[in-house]
Structure 1
Amino acid sequence: MEKLIDLREVLVNVEKFSWEDSLFLPPTETWSLDTNCAILNTDDLDDEEEPRFAIDNNLKDALTIQDVQGVVMNIREQHPECTDDDLLKALLHYYQHDAFIVL
């Protein structure tokens, strides 16, 4: 899917994406629910190669969709009534610490 979407859409609908996809985010921006991002499949690229869409939109590979799905599943198991802000907080914690958040 080569289009920009907001991070909220990814977190709320993460189960709709393929496990082969990756989440691309802007490297120089503080991420929020409204941050533009992209879900791209990098399977056909060399390890160090970035997709043209990501380069054109100044996005970097942040996490695999498998990781994002795991983060969302974990926070929903801990707190079934979690908010979109809770999802973002859990994602940021995972990205910064390579570990699930504990509520």
Structure 2
Amino acid sequence: MNLRCSFFRSRSIACLDPCKKISIQTKGAVWKIGEAAGEGHGKNMMTLRKALDQFEDLTWSDAIFIDRRQPINMDTVCLIHDPDDVEDEKVDLPDVAIELGFDYLMDVQSLQSICLNMREQMPDAKVEDIFRAFLFYLKNDAFIVIQ
């Protein structure tokens, strides 16, 4: 099997195989994209494409965490997790996000609002259109207006 791997910090590795299955290994645990990443509510790993495509299925009280050192695209791996699941108040990040080298991006409620706003303006919006609205929101802290 031919795997392409990238290193996240010094303690984790992400591998993408030819079948587009992604896994992240950190401290001996393997996190598979699209599967629950550990025990408990909201610990899901997925690509931004999937999060944007299935935004209605996400829990509004969760948040999105990503590796901010990487460029954001639709294949960016993200963690959907309860932002209040914090062990160390000084760090203010869930342990699972710290282990992965991920930082807070936004709450799921904001993501859902971006997606709903785009669908309201463009009922037949494709995931690429929603991603464009998502990037606009990140850059401008405002919803995109379709002319």
TM norm structure 2? 0.65
1:26–1:58 contact (8 Å) kept in structure 2: yes
Mapped partners of 1:18, 1:101: distance in 2: 23
Mapped partners of 1:42, 1:65: distance in 2: 10
Rg larger in 1 or in 2? 2
Measure how far apart 1:56 and its partner are: 1.4
Higher alpha-carbon deviation: 56-65 or 41-50? 41-50
Summarize deviations over 1:23-56 as a string: whole Å, max 9, x none.
1111111111111001010224348511111111
1:6–1:37 contact (8 Å) kept in structure 2: yes
2:85–2:94 contact (8 Å) kept in structure 1: no
More helix by share: 1
Name stretches of at least 5 consecutive residues in structure 2 with no aligned partner: 1-41
2:53 aligns to what?
A: 12
- Report the number of matched residues: 103
TM norm structure 1? 0.91
Measure how far apart 1:94 and its partner are: 0.6
What is the aligned-residue identity percentage?
Answer: 31
Measure how far apart 1:18 and its partner are: 1.4
Two-structure CA RMSD over aligned residues (Å):
1.5
More strand by share: 2
**Higher RCO structure, 1 or 2 (CA under 8 Å, sep 6+):** 1
